[in-house]
Structure 1
């Protein structure tokens, strides 16, 4: 019988090692995101990701045991959230105003600004999932999840506009939700920004003007028409 009590094993942790692992994971994620957007999901292999990131293939699997699908999920989540996902979704986060938001133009500016910024970060990856959905079940699931979340957000916004009395008399909440779903889609963003070559300011202005003129009371005049006149 051993008179000495058995010593509990200590788990050794190193902050430097953990930081190095985090940086490696970030490098792999960012390299994969570039490849997914540039080459497509199906054409991008783990070996390609390793080469782009400058690491060994086994390092990729050590950082992401789930392989490509896990890397894509983390890259997409990071892009959607942005660098600081703690910022309120509806504004600059300055927190100086204590007045409730009641101006329809301010709400439109916030909705368009947040949506455009998110698509500038994540639109490429979202389109990757859409364009690869026919060939890969993971991409099909990601595309369906995003479409469902976008539809839910559009419905929430449409209901808010309706409750505030801002919708035109001939526009139902259901119709407004469909229009908002379309306007905020990565497909429309890609068509105008990537295929038509619009700059981001053109895209934002068009989005705000279209939202006002198609859905909101007084949208045919005011800020919507003045913006159109000033661009002629």
Structure 2
């Protein structure tokens, strides 16, 4: 009987622990976005999640930095196929330059709707915390690399305007699709998502494409 209980209770304990981790992670994400990374304490996260501080550290031994990293990873990865268009792997595979831009905007906007708040948190907190500085720099580097990859693909396909270099296109893509611009228009200016997507797609097409 005892062995049977252990056999059945172990998966239950694992599932309970998994759910607790998700609850803590989501509570942390909410507080980070609302109050900033530096101002949010582990005690506040525990209270928001309805658990003890010790439980937070049991689930996340590295504390807030680990919580932020996992919250950001979950937000970036969540429901990617359903939330937006898939990332462009090869511009040559698409029928037209405008289709590439629309696809990139759809995917990027969906990702920023999920993760933009945390990305802005890392940027705003980067001057006060070394972990946030690293997260912000890592994201900026990845965004710049993606922008250059797309710019090079548009150039190879002959879709960039004659007066637009790959460097210029990469800079424009990097800047306009950034979490900062998304936050300014969606959060500060109060634009709805459709307006933001339409503006971004129209601006990129007009600025970069033949």
Q: Distance in 1 between matches of 2:34 and 2:173?
A: 28
**After the TM superposition, which residues 91-170 of structure 1 pair with which residues of structure 2 at under 5 Å, given as runs?**
100-170=93-163
| Structure 1 residues 29-70: Cα deviation after superposition (integer angstroms, max 9, x where no partner) | 000000000000000000000000000000000000010000
Post-superposition offset of 1:102: 1.9
Largest Rg, 1 or 2: 1
Q: Given the alignment, which residue of 62, 78, 94 partners 1:66?
A: 62
Q: Whose helix proportion is higher, 1 or 2?
A: 2
Alignment match, 1:57? 53
Structure 2 unmatched runs, 5+? 1-5
Alignment match, 1:211? 204
Contact 2:31 2:40 in 1 (8 A): yes
Identify the structure with bigger relative contact order (alpha carbons < 8 Å, sequence gap 6+).
2
Cα 1:35–1:188 change in 2 (3 A) is: same
What SS does the aligned partner of 2:51 have?
coil
Alignment match, 1:89? 86
Q: Distance in 2 between matches of 1:131 and 1:101?
A: 37
Cα 1:85–1:105 change in 2 (3 A) is: closer
Post-superposition offset of 1:184: 1.2
Post-superposition offset of 1:105: 1.9
Post-superposition offset of 1:100: 3.8
Post-superposition offset of 1:101: 1.5
Aligned length in residues: 200
Q: Distance in 1 between matches of 2:37 and 2:199?
A: 30
Q: Does 1:184 pair with 2:177?
A: yes
Structure 1 unmatched runs, 5+? 1-10, 92-98, 218-232
Post-superposition offset of 1:89: 2.5
Alignment match, 1:230? none
Q: C-alpha root-mean-square deviation of aligned residues, in Å?
A: 1.9
Q: Given the alignment, which residue of 25, 31, 35 partners 2:27?
A: 31
Q: Distance in 2 between matches of 1:84 and 1:121?
A: 10
